[in-house]
Amino acid sequence: MTTAASTETGERKLDTINLTINGREIMAKKGVTVLEAALGADIYIPTLCYDPDLKPYGGCRLCVVEIEGMRGLVSSCTTPATDGMVVHTDTPRVNQSRRITMELISANHHGDCLACAKNQDCELLKIARYLGIEQDRVERLRKGTQVLSVDDSHPAFIRDLNKCILCAKCVRACHEIACVDAIDIAFRGNSARIATFGDKPIVESICKSCGECVMRCPTGALVPKWEKPPAEEVKTICPYCGVGCSLYLGVLDNKIVSVRGDSEGPANKGSLCVKGRWGYDFLSHPERLTTPLIRLPGVARQAGHNGKVHEIFREASWDEALELAAKRLLELKQDYGPDSIAALSSAKCTNEDNYVMQKFVRVVLGSNNIDHCARLCHASTVVGGIAAFGQGAMTNAYSDFEKTGLFFVIGSNTTECHPIIGSMIKRRVRFGGAKLIVADPRSIELSDFATVRLSHKPGTDVALLNGLMHVIIRDGLENKEFIRERTEGFEELRQLVERYTPEVVEAITGVSKADIEAAARLFGEAKSACILYGMGITQHTTGTDNVKSVANLLLLTGNIGREGTGFSPLRGQNNVQGACDMGALPNVYPGYQRVDDRAVRMKFETAWGCKLNDRPGMTVTEIANAILGGDIKGLYVMGENPVLSEPNLEHFRQALEKVELLVVQDIFLSETAWLADVVFPAAAFAEKNGTFTNTERRVQRIRQALMPPGEAKADWEIISALAEKMGKPFDYQTASQIMEEAASLTPIYGGIHFDRLDNGGLQWPCPDTSHPGTSFLYQDGFARGRGKFHAADYFPPAESISKKYPLVLTTGRVLEHWHTGTMSRRANVLNELYPNGVVEMSPIDAARLGFIEGDLVVVTSKRGRVEAPLHITEKSPPGVIFMSFHWREAAANILTNDALDPLAKIPEYKVSAVNAVRRRKKLR
Amino acid sequence: MANPSGAQDTQVLLQQQEGISEERLNEILSSYQGKEEELIPILQQVQQVFGYLPEPAMKRIAKFLKLPESTVFGVGTFYAQFKFVPSGRNIIRVCRGTACHVRGGARILREVEKQLGIKPGESSPDLEYCLETVACIGACALAPTMVVNNETHGQMTARKVTEVLEQFRGKK
């Protein structure tokens, strides 16, 4: 230890250099540039093209300095600082050069500072003042440049190239951070300007609207359309996907007026995507619920609303609405028993909301009938992960990706569904030398970055993964030591995959033998590999087998429990990990402690002071049949919209029309809330305190930035009030009190305390308050002891194409929208960028069927029909059509199959047999 | 590089006339390895075959070289040799050299622009003419000059522009 420590200090000394700037001795880290060394010592050097997140560019020539021993003026942003260097940043020669440069830059900058949206924080203006630039000298240098028309095609920002000074920060951010490359410098000389491909308006380009360019523009060339200077900024977490990006909401007059990424956010390091940056105006949308609502007597529940709110509901006081809900719930409990009521918790809500909700169901209602949408996205991950490793969470952290040599992305359209992780992968491939295998039936953005691309048929994942393992074992690329020391069940797997020769797998999956061999070798030979997957793996009747096969491949090659390796199920919702952790599941209490384990149950009975039900409850996907069968009489829904998110919607809608009591709490009158008897108005993420747990198990604080609209309350407050009305008060005053109780009962959250979450949160397991959290799991052993191989045979999807239904429908999300659109379709920018759902079809199928772009097509399956305009794209392979499920007018889930995975009870959203015909009436 | 209005129709027209096809493009690309540094030679060869750089061709080249489409466009537009709109069948060049400038070359250019309804670097929508400017054609004694295809016309005036264009329209 002593030796190690002394070497470390020795290295630390070697890591720093000493240089003199303006006569001052400066210490700097080795490898920094002269500019960074100066900035680090609070010595100002003007610059327009430097950005700490981007590579040195040396474009603006303002940062020139004199360095003794070097000829001429050198740009400090591209010159590495070296030991003993003597630098002068403020000499007459330097300043004269900077002034001339600045005058030339200013002469090409056209615009009226008075009317410019950037005049408060224009870098150009700041530097012009610092250098003392004179207006008339600039005017003399001006050349009659052509006035370019302003590009205001984008709903979120304006591009005024007349104000552009060609620092290329936008081009570099697009290339180096977002890896989208929508823009570059084009044309020459005086005409040189930033252009999209073909110099078209930005909205017609491949721009993904992440806004990394807008945030970095030093002038008014790129400015947000709606932003205002905030009165205060509140640090919180993005409420959209499971990446868990940290951001600052700027608040003025109880409205969000600006958003910026938190450069210290452990997940995003300042980056945001289109939703995270522009998607918050739903918070102040006029349709927000502001008072409790009660269904008018005699108004029948009818799915697919088209009436007016006041024709169906009347406004009520909190007291009256709570009283009514409490009375009806107690009646049902008394008449039909506690198991006759089910509740859906929400992966959009905080850990605290979820904890209180599951406690309400278990303590007040007296059943375990609590579940949430994790059932529909990652139930198979939890089941498969527990079987293989003992736990179902992502085993690694994003920071680990920096050390990953090979990414294997299967069934995840990462750049659309987890955009910030998508960019991380692209950056690692583009700049870090990492390799990438992409397996997806569709051609996704990541496919263009892939070393090997496998386009397998939907639902053939087990066969594909078995095929890869076949080649790895055949070629002796498996990690024999890891298999021997840390796993069990290898022999069964070996025997099974022996049958999956490349020939067999090619016949099943449609992937060529050569590609299977290439991918297998790449994976088998990788020093560190991780597998990222999403709904493409989980949402199948073989979902659990798919997950187990992913686990098999990792165990086989020893790519788990080490830095840079891991099992990475990408969780969809902002807090789906947390909702599971908090026990919003029918079979476990918080921390995955089983309800049928007597010791566990006794612990919770003591803590909660009541007898608890020992029967595991009902899953989301079983509720519809239970309602229709008469077993479930009452349904309580918090912040979910099953009327659009369930598979085989017609069936589910029938059930909801039949249920005796439906209580919904939400921020909007969602399609589900329209059917409710009582609706409670809830506070949104920016209107309450609490925590979200992201997909890398990081528990992060969300903070109240706004007052809730009207009488809306935080979800946990609503449930607590209802519990009190039902005679079992919970007595929580703040969200942090709830987390304290949850942490005391949940070993993996033992050390989670609001006070510890201010700087980047903590990754569970975090057993006590001195524990720093756990970045990656299973370093020393698996949660279940040894990692277990599960030999899984290939079974085809529940539904296969037929003469009547000759196409495969696969569903998913698009970048601009979120789930059932309750939030994103009420965000102006997102809605304008992607206003309606489409059916995506390959050019080959379209030509065969005689369809043209924009045709209104009717898609039918055994379960129903949906109409939407056609979009012809090479993203879809022949024989496969794609629809996203955000749209109530074209609800893809009317078509999807509610066949379940037998173990995880997850439905097969990803494969449905459908037919598509053109409707005569043409759209637009 | 704003395309003149009706660019889409022009492309269709050109595809029919010149036979721009995926196959011809693939044929060109087949003699390259897909390395970044091959970009300019490929652009040159594509222009040689198609007469300009059609957008679909640039996209295909970007994919082939694994370069961003915006970069291919950026590089292409940097060089004066590349064209982004199809050439007309008849190339009209107006000289902007010193001698022509002194004798009123700018007026001649304006007149041609007015009569053809296109600006330098553009083609008429029916692809009959395209207009270019040149620095000097070496016939300074005849200034101001213009060249239609390979025929030089000297001592131009606005009225002579009408005559030349009409005479040439008559030839069609």
Beta bridge partners of A28: A17
Which of B43, B65, B69, B70 is the best residue to mutate to test the A interface, defined by the most A CB atoms within 10 Å of its own CB? B70
How close A483 comes to chain B (CA, Å)? 39
Same domain, A560 and A602: no
**Within-domain flag for A782:** no
All residues at 6 or more sequence positions from A831 whose CB lies less than 8 Å from its CB, including other chains: A824, A825
- The amino acid at residue A131 is L
Residues of B in contact with A184 (CB under 8 A): 68, 70-71, 73-74
Give me the half-sphere count of Cα atoms (radius 13 Å) on the Cβ side of residue A684. 25
Average pLDDT taken over every residue of chain A: 91
The alpha carbon torsion through B77, A216, A55, A775 (nearest 10 deg) reads: -130
Q: Is B155 left (phi over 0), alpha (psi -120 to 50) or beta?
A: left
Looking up residue A889, the CATH number of its domain turns out to be 2.40.40.20
A239 backbone dihedrals φ, ψ, rounded to 5°: -90, 5
Chain length of chain B: 172
Using CA coordinates, name the residue in chain B closest to A179.
Answer: B68
- Final residue in a domain of this structure, among A733, A763, A793: A763
Q: Which of B1, B72, B79 sits opposite A199 (nearest CB)?
A: B1
Which of A181, A183, A197 is the best residue to mutate to test the B interface, defined by the most B CB atoms within 10 Å of its own CB? A197
Residue A140 and residue A126: Cα distance in Å, rounded? 21
Alpha helices in A612-732 (DSSP H): 620-628, 642-645, 649-658, 715-725
Dihedral sign, Cα of residue A897, residue A898, residue A901, residue A904: positive
pTM: 0.90
For chain A, the domain total comes to: 3
Dihedral sign, Cα of residue A399, residue A403, residue A408, residue A414: positive
Distance from CA of residue A495 to its chain's centroid?
38
**Within-domain flag for A656:** yes
Beta bridge partners of A64: A75
How close B105 comes to chain A (CA, Å)? 20
Beta bridge partners of A246: A237
How close A427 comes to chain B (CA, Å)? 14
Look at A199 and B79 and tell me if their CB atoms are within 8 Å.
no
Q: Which of A187, A188, A196 sits opposite B70 (nearest CB)?
A: A196
Look at A197 and B78 and tell me if their CB atoms are within 8 Å.
no
Which of the residue ranges A247-251, A477-481, A589-593, B88-92 would you say has the lowest mean pLDDT? Answer: B88-92
Among A370, A395, A371, smallest CA distance to A381 is for: A395
- pLDDT at residue B6, as a whole number: 38
Looking up tokens 């050569």 gives A514
- Final residue in a domain of this structure, among A552, A569, A586: A569
Q: Which of B55, B68, B71 sits opposite A198 (nearest CB)?
A: B55
Contact A690, A350 (CB under 8 A): yes
- Return the structure tokens found at B164: 């030349």
- Beta strands at A698-702 and A690-693: parallel, antiparallel or unpaired: antiparallel
- Return the structure tokens found at A842: 């390959």
- pLDDT at residue A759, as a whole number: 86
Which range of residues forms the domain containing residue A431? 379-569
Q: In the 3-class helix/strand/coil scheme, how is A304-320 assigned residue by residue?
A: CCCCCHHHHEEECCHHH
**Within-domain flag for A779:** no
Q: Which of A182, A196, A199 sits opposite B2 (nearest CB)?
A: A199
Q: What is the maximal distance between C-alpha atoms in chain B?
A: 54
Look at A199 and B73 and tell me if their CB atoms are within 8 Å.
yes
pLDDT band at A302 (very low <50, low <70, confident <90, very high): confident
Look at B70 and A182 and tell me if their CB atoms are within 8 Å.
yes
- pLDDT at residue A924, as a whole number: 46
Residue A236 and residue A706: Cα distance in Å, rounded? 12
Q: Which of A183, A187, A206 sits opposite B77 (nearest CB)?
A: A187
Residues of A in contact with B10 (CB under 8 A): none
- Return the structure tokens found at A726: 């039902």
pLDDT digits (tens, 9 = 90+) for A675-705: 999 999 999 999 999 999 999 999 999 999 9
Residues of A in contact with B74 (CB under 8 A): 184-186, 195
DSSP 8-state secondary structure symbol assigned to residue A176: I
Alpha helices in A257-317 (DSSP H): 274-278, 309-312
- pLDDT at residue A651, as a whole number: 87
Give me the mean pLDDT over the A818-839 stretch: 90
Same domain, A583 and A682: yes
Beta bridge partners of A27: A18
Same domain, A753 and A826: no
Looking up residue A599, the CATH number of its domain turns out to be 3.40.50.740
**Cis amide leading into A765 (omega within 30):** yes
- The amino acid at residue B47 is Q
Look at A185 and B74 and tell me if their CB atoms are within 8 Å.
yes
Same domain, A610 and A547: no
**Within-domain flag for A5:** no
pLDDT along chain B (172 residues), means of 10: 40 51 85 93 90 89 93 93 83 91 92 89 83 88 89 90 79 50
Using CA coordinates, name the residue in chain B closest to A186.
Answer: B74
Which of the residue ranges A453-457, A662-666, A691-695, A851-855 would you say has the lowest mean pLDDT? Answer: A851-855
- pLDDT at residue A713, as a whole number: 95
Give me the mean pLDDT over the A776-788 stretch: 88
Same domain, A649 and A746: yes
DSSP 8-state secondary structure symbol assigned to residue B18: H
Residue B19 and residue A509: Cα distance in Å, rounded? 38
Looking up residue A541, the CATH number of its domain turns out to be 3.40.228.10
Q: Is the pLDDT of residue A9 over 50?
A: no
- Return the structure tokens found at A464: 């594909």
Same domain, A817 and A852: yes
Cα B33–B36–B39 angle (5° rounding)? 85
**Within-domain flag for A798:** no
Give me the mean pLDDT over the A333-349 stretch: 94
- Final residue in a domain of this structure, among A569, A596, A624: A569
SS3 content of chain A, % helix, strand, coil (to 5): 35, 20, 45
- pLDDT at residue A144, as a whole number: 67
How close B164 comes to chain A (CA, Å)? 31
All residues at 6 or more sequence positions from A892 whose CB lies less than 8 Å from its CB, including other chains: A809, A811, A837, A866, A883, A884, A885
Among A268, A215, A278, smallest CA distance to A824 is for: A278
Q: Which of A549-558, A645-654, B153-162 has the highest mean pLDDT?
A: A549-558
Q: Is the pLDDT of residue A885 over 70?
A: yes
Look at A195 and B73 and tell me if their CB atoms are within 8 Å.
yes
Residues of A in contact with B120 (CB under 8 A): none
How close A183 comes to chain B (CA, Å)? 5
pLDDT digits (tens, 9 = 90+) for A627-637: 999 999 999 99
**Within-domain flag for A263:** no
Q: How many helices (H) and strands (E) does chain B have?
A: 8, 4
Domains identified in chain B and CATH numbers: 7-78 (1.10.10), 90-171 (3.40.30.10)
pLDDT band at A298 (very low <50, low <70, confident <90, very high): confident
Same domain, A615 and A540: no
- Helix (H) or strand (E) holding A742, with range, is helix A735-745
Same domain, A867 and A747: no
Residue A738 and residue A563: Cα distance in Å, rounded? 34
Residue A214 and residue A221: Cα distance in Å, rounded? 9
- Beta strands at A370-371 and A588-589: parallel, antiparallel or unpaired: unpaired
Contact A409, A571 (CB under 8 A): no
- Return the structure tokens found at A63: 């940062």
Question: What is the percentage of chain A residues whose pLDDT exceeds 70?
Answer: 97
Using CA coordinates, name the residue in chain A closest to B72.
Answer: A197
The alpha carbon torsion through A91, A96, A102, A106 (nearest 10 deg) reads: 150
* ipTM value for the complex: 0.86
Look at A187 and B68 and tell me if their CB atoms are within 8 Å.
no
Question: What is the percentage of chain A residues whose pLDDT exceeds 90?
Answer: 77
Task: List b or e across A439-464, with b for residues whose CB sees 16 or more CB atoms inside 10 angstroms.
Answer: bbbbbbbbbebbebbbbbbbbbbbbb
**Within-domain flag for A351:** yes
Looking up tokens 């990006």 gives A245
Give me the mean pLDDT over the A375-395 stretch: 90
Give me the mean pLDDT over the A451-472 stretch: 95
- pLDDT at residue B126, as a whole number: 80
Residue A601 and residue A594: Cα distance in Å, rounded? 8
All residues at 6 or more sequence positions from B164 whose CB lies less than 8 Å from its CB, including other chains: B146, B148, B153, B156
Look at A183 and B70 and tell me if their CB atoms are within 8 Å.
yes
Cα Rg, chain A, nearest whole Å: 29
Same domain, A826 and A887: yes
Residue A163 and residue B6: Cα distance in Å, rounded? 30
Contact A815, A273 (CB under 8 A): yes
Residue A124 and residue A130: Cα distance in Å, rounded? 10
Give me the half-sphere count of Cα atoms (radius 13 Å) on the Cβ side of residue A517. 8
Same domain, A756 and A665: yes
Q: Is the pLDDT of residue A80 over 70?
A: yes
Look at B77 and A186 and tell me if their CB atoms are within 8 Å.
yes
- Helix (H) or strand (E) holding A261, with range, is strand A255-261
All residues at 6 or more sequence positions from A860 whose CB lies less than 8 Å from its CB, including other chains: A805, A866, A895, A914, A915, A916, A917
Q: What is the maximal distance between C-alpha atoms in chain A?
A: 92
Residues of B in contact with A195 (CB under 8 A): 1, 70, 73-74, 77
Among A634, A630, A601, smallest CA distance to A615 is for: A601
Same domain, A389 and A334: no
- Return the structure tokens found at A86: 């003597």
- pLDDT at residue B19, as a whole number: 54
Residue A199 and residue B69: Cα distance in Å, rounded? 11
Which of the residue ranges A83-87, A182-186, A830-834, B82-86 would you say has the lowest mean pLDDT? Answer: B82-86
Q: Which of B2, B3, B73 sits opposite A197 (nearest CB)?
A: B73
SS3 call for A808: strand
- pLDDT at residue B67, as a whole number: 93
Same domain, A550 and A585: no
**Within-domain flag for A162:** no
Cα Rg, chain B, nearest whole Å: 18
Q: In the 3-class helix/strand/coil scheme, how is A100-167 assigned residue by residue?
A: HHHHHHHHCCCCCHHHCCCCCCCHHHHHHHHHCCCHHHHHHHCCCCCCCCCECCCCCEEECHHHCCCC
Q: How many helices (H) and strands (E) does chain A have?
A: 32, 37
Residues of B in contact with A185 (CB under 8 A): 74
Residues of B in contact with A183 (CB under 8 A): 70
Which of A159, A199, A443 is the best residue to mutate to test the B interface, defined by the most B CB atoms within 10 Å of its own CB? A199
